[in-house]
Amino acid sequence: MVFSSVVFLYIFFPIMLLIYFAVPKKFKNAVMILASLVFFAWGEIRYIFIMLILAVMDFICGKGIDKNEGNKSKQRLYLFIDVGVNLLILFFFKYADFIISNINAVLHIEIPLWNIPLPIGVSFNTFQSLSYIIDVYRGTVKCEKSFYNYLTYTTLFPQIIAGPIVRYETVDEELETKKISMDNFSKGMRRFIIGLGKKVLIANNVGALWNMIETSGYSEMSMLLSWVGIIAFALQIYFDFSGYSDMAIGLANIFGMDFDENFNYPYISKSITEFWRRWHMTLGSWFRDYIYIPLGGNRKGFPKQIRNILIVWFLTGAWHGASWNFMLWGLFFGIILIIEKVVLLKILEKLPKWTNHIYSMLLILVSWVIFAFEDLTKVKDYILTMFHLNDTSIVNAEGLYYLKNYFIIIIIGIILATPIVSKLFKKLEEKQTNIRSILITGVYIGILLLSTASLVSDSYNPFLYFRF
CA distance 291 to 307: 12
The C-alpha angle 164, 170, 176, rounded to 5 degrees, equals 120
Q: Is the dihedral of CA 417, 156, 138, 95 positive or negative?
A: negative
Q: Is the dihedral of CA 244, 245, 250, 256 positive or negative?
A: positive
The C-alpha angle 260, 22, 247, rounded to 5 degrees, equals 25
**CA torsion angle for 425, 430, 432, 435 (degrees, to 10)?**
-20
> 397-416 vs 204-214: helix axis angle to the nearest 10?
150
Residue 320 designated active-site = yes
**CA torsion angle for 369, 373, 375, 381 (degrees, to 10)?**
-40
Contacts of 1-9 with C-beta under 8 Å, sequence gap 24+, read: 1/461, 2/455, 2/456, 2/458, 2/459, 2/461, 4/42, 5/455, 5/461, 6/452, 6/455, 6/456, 8/39, 8/42, 9/455
Q: Is the dihedral of CA 218, 417, 339, 312 positive or negative?
A: negative
Burial 383-418 (b: 16+ CB within 10 A, else e): bbbbeeeeebeeeeebbeebbeebeebbebbeebbe
Q: How many residues does the chain have?
A: 468
CA distance 416 to 202: 9
Q: Indicate which residue of 108, 280, 320, 388 is catalytic.
A: 320
CA neighbours closer than 13 Å in the CB half-sphere of residue 35: 27
Q: What secondary structure letter does DSSP report for 202?
A: I
CA distance 405 to 412: 13
Contact 309, 334 (CB under 8 A): yes
Residue 69 gets the label, from left (phi > 0), alpha (psi -120 to 50) or beta, of beta
Alpha helices in 8-109 (DSSP H): 13-22, 28-44, 48-67, 72-107
Active-site residue list = 320
